Amino acid sequence: MARVVLGPNLRRFTDGVDELEIDAATIQQLLAKLGALYPKLGPHLERGLAVAINGTIYQGTVLAPIPPDAEVFLLPPIEGG
């Protein structure tokens, strides 16, 4: 199971839960499971996030694999400039 850490901007939609373990093979599965667990979080997940898996940041892809025992951070979208 992946250890998932939610950024402060998302915690308000999970009643303060900031860390949990979820079994998911891809980012897409992870986001679907989080949305099912916390319906208020769902719309914010659909707007797009950056997802860091074991230190590698993924943005705009939902099919990236999540290895077993991964550390996953959900971050606000990263914008260039």
Mean pLDDT on 28-51? 90
What's the mean pLDDT in 27-49? Answer: 90
pLDDT in tens, 52-78: 999 999 988 889 999 999 999 998 776
Mention every residue, 6+ apart, whose C-beta is less than 8 A from residue 70: 2, 3, 53, 54
DSSP 69: T
Whole-prediction pTM: 0.88
Query: At residue 31, does pLDDT exceed 70?
Result: yes
Rounded CA-CA distance 39/65 in Å is 24
Q: Which of 37, 36, 40, 32 is nearest to 10 (CA)?
A: 40
Q: Is 77 helix (H, G, I), strand (E, B) or coil?
A: coil
Q: Assign domain 2-75 to its CATH architecture.
A: Roll (3.10)
d(CA 78, CA 73): 13
Is the pLDDT at 33 greater than 60? The verdict is: yes
